[in-house]
Amino acid sequence: MLPEKLTQALNDQFNNELQAAHSYTAMAAYFSEKGYHGFANFYLVQSREEHFHAMKFYEYLVTMDEKPVVQSLSEPKNNYVSAMDVVESSLAQEKEVTSNIYALVTLADELQEHATLSFLDWFIEEQMEEEKMFRDIITRLKGAGEGGEYFLKMNDEFAARKLEE
Ligand SMILES: [Fe+2]
Ligand SMILES: [Fe+2]
């Protein structure tokens, strides 16, 4: 068992990760509609990654003899004006998740819950990688007109992205 406050915070993050998956699926749809199937694939894989993150929290709660509780999802943003808009929103979303993870670490530290601190280490690393990934895509998009030659090259590259677990 875990302190109630920590269980609640971990459960909230379980649901935040599901919400992130939901949001990335909506971002994929921006690209699918435009016919940029490589970018769409990138975002669909990203959505599955977030679901995988959610399930890490699920499993951790179960391991600690707590029950995961699924909450309702809210409607994600479904209207984007450009590829850059999508990627900038992705980075903003990841920064938000990073601060959620940091708040969880702070709470676990206050409560001296060392198992939870150890569990959360993986997420600290993951957030560093995800923020960097989106920052790098923003840099590349700055030099590429949407639909232009370099953009289509990125689209081909993203078509090959597969789920890594
Ligand atoms: Fe995540
Ligand atoms: Fe993420």
Q: What is the C-alpha separation between 92 and 90, in angstroms, rounded?
A: 5
Tokens 């450009």, located at residue = 82
Cα-to-centroid distance, 127 and ligand 2 (Å): 6
Domains of the chain: 4-69+81-159 (1.20.1260.10)
Which residue type, as a one-letter code, is found at position 53?
A: H
Q: Which residue, 84, 100, 80, 81, is CA-closest to 20? A: 100
Sequence-distant (≥ 6) Cβ neighbours of residue 87 within 8 angstroms: 134, 137, 138, 141
pLDDT score of 164 more than 90: no
Cα-to-centroid distance, 43 and ligand 1 (Å): 13
* Ligand lying nearest the CA atom of residue 56: 1
pLDDT, tens digit, 9 for 90 and up, residues 67-84: 999 999 999 999 999 999
Cα-to-centroid distance, 159 and ligand 2 (Å): 19
Cα-to-centroid distance, 129 and ligand 2 (Å): 9
Tokens 């749809």, located at residue = 29
Annotated binding site: 17, 50, 53, 94, 127
- pLDDT reported for residue 165: 64
* Ligand lying nearest the CA atom of residue 17: 1
Sequence-distant (≥ 6) Cβ neighbours of residue 154 within 8 angstroms: 38, 39, 137, 140, 141, 144
Annotated binding site for Fe cation: 17, 50, 53, 94, 127
pLDDT, tens digit, 9 for 90 and up, residues 3-48: 999 999 999 999 999 999 999 999 999 999 999 999 999 999 999 9
